[in-house]
Amino acid sequence: MRSGVSLNVTVYFDVASTAPLHPVARQALTAALDEGWADPARLYRSGRQARMLLDAARETVAGVLGTRADEIAFTTSGTQAVHLGMLGALAGNRRRGGHLVHSAVEHSSVLHTAERWAHLQPPAGAAGGPVSVVPVDRFGRVSPEGFAAALRPDTALAVLQSANHEVGTVQPVAEAAEACGDVPLLVDAAQSAGRVDVPGGWSLLTASAHKWGGPAGVGVLAVRKGVRYVSPLPADEREGGRVPGYVNVPAIVAAAASLRAVRAEAERENARLHTLVERIRARVPQLVPEVEVVGDPVRRLPHIVTFSCLYVDGEVLLTELDRAGFAVSSGSSCTSSTLTPSHVLAAMGVLTEGNVRVSLPFGAAEADVERFLAVLPGLVAGVRAPLGLDLPAPAEAVTAVTAAQPEASGQVTLINALGKRCPLPVIELAKRIGEVPVGGTVAVLADDEAARLDIPAWCEMRGQEYAGEAPAADYGGDRGSAYLVRRTT
Average pLDDT, the chain: 89
The pTM of the full predicted model, rounded to 2 decimals, is 0.86
- Most confident of the ranges 121-125, 273-277, 331-335: 273-277
pLDDT in tens, 50-64: 999 999 999 999 999
User: Is the backbone of residue 216 left (phi > 0), alpha (psi -120 to 50) or beta?
Assistant: beta
Upstream peptide bond of 423 is cis (omega within 30 degrees of 0): yes
pLDDT in tens, 197-243: 988 899 999 999 999 999 999 999 999 999 999 999 988 888 888 99
Same domain, 145 and 239: yes
Task: Report d(CA 208, CA 210) in Å as an integer.
Answer: 6
Domain boundary among 357, 387, 417: 387
Same domain, 140 and 228: yes
Strand-pairing partners, residue 134, are 103
Question: Strand 131-134 to strand 99-103: parallel, antiparallel, or no bridges (unpaired)?
Answer: parallel
Task: Report d(CA 186, CA 419) in Å as an integer.
Answer: 41
Same domain, 63 and 100: yes
- At 392 the pLDDT is 53
User: Please, what is the Cα angle at 132 between 129 and 135, to 5 degrees?
Assistant: 165
pLDDT in tens, 378-395: 999 999 988 776 565 333
- Find, among 402, 281, 420, 302, the residue nearest to 353 by Cα: 420
Domain boundary among 262, 284, 313: 262
Task: Report d(CA 377, CA 288) in Å as an integer.
Answer: 5
- At 423 the pLDDT is 82
CATH number at residue 372: 3.90.1150.10
Domain boundary among 354, 387, 420: 387
Same domain, 66 and 38: yes
pLDDT in tens, 404-419: 344 445 678 999 999 9
Taking the CA of residue 179 as centre, how many other CA atoms within 13 Å lie in the half-sphere pointing to its CB? 22
- At 230 the pLDDT is 94
CA 13 to chain centre: 15
Span 179-201, average pLDDT: 95
> What residues make up the domain containing 295?
11-16+268-387
CATH number at residue 72: 3.40.640.10
Same domain, 366 and 425: no
- At 320 the pLDDT is 95
Same domain, 251 and 330: no
97 inside domain: yes
- At 44 the pLDDT is 95
CATH number at residue 481: 3.30.110.40
Same domain, 48 and 156: yes
Same domain, 131 and 230: yes
312 inside domain: yes
pLDDT in tens, 8-64: 468 999 999 999 999 999 999 999 999 999 999 999 999 999 999 999 999 999 999
**3: Cβ contacts below 8 Å, ≥ 6 apart:** 363, 365
Annotated catalytic residue within 309, 334, 422, 459:
334
393 inside domain: no
State yes or no: pLDDT of 332 exceeds 60: no
pLDDT in tens, 427-469: 888 888 888 899 899 999 999 888 888 898 888 888 899 999 9
Q: Is 180 a catalytic residue?
A: no
State yes or no: pLDDT of 191 exceeds 90: yes
State yes or no: pLDDT of 186 exceeds 70: yes
413 inside domain: yes
Task: Report d(CA 411, CA 400) in Å as an integer.
Answer: 24
Residue 331's pLDDT band (cuts 50, 70, 90): low
Same domain, 286 and 431: no
- At 484 the pLDDT is 93
Residue 156 neighbours by CB distance under 10 Å:
23
Same domain, 99 and 45: yes
pLDDT in tens, 130-172: 999 999 999 999 999 999 999 999 999 999 999 999 999 999 9
Q: H or E stretch including 482?
A: strand 481-486
Residue 1's pLDDT band (cuts 50, 70, 90): very low
Span 270-292, average pLDDT: 95
Same domain, 102 and 181: yes
2 inside domain: no
Same domain, 251 and 276: no
**Total domains in the fold of the chain:** 3
- At 270 the pLDDT is 95
Question: Strand 441-446 to strand 355-359: parallel, antiparallel, or no bridges (unpaired)?
Answer: unpaired
397 inside domain: no
396 inside domain: no
- Find, among 371, 393, 195, the residue nearest to 280 by Cα: 371
Task: Report d(CA 264, CA 310) in Å as an integer.
Answer: 39
Task: Report d(CA 45, CA 301) in Å as an integer.
Answer: 44
Residue 7's pLDDT band (cuts 50, 70, 90): very low
Percent of the chain at pLDDT > 70 equals: 90
- At 126 the pLDDT is 56
291 inside domain: yes
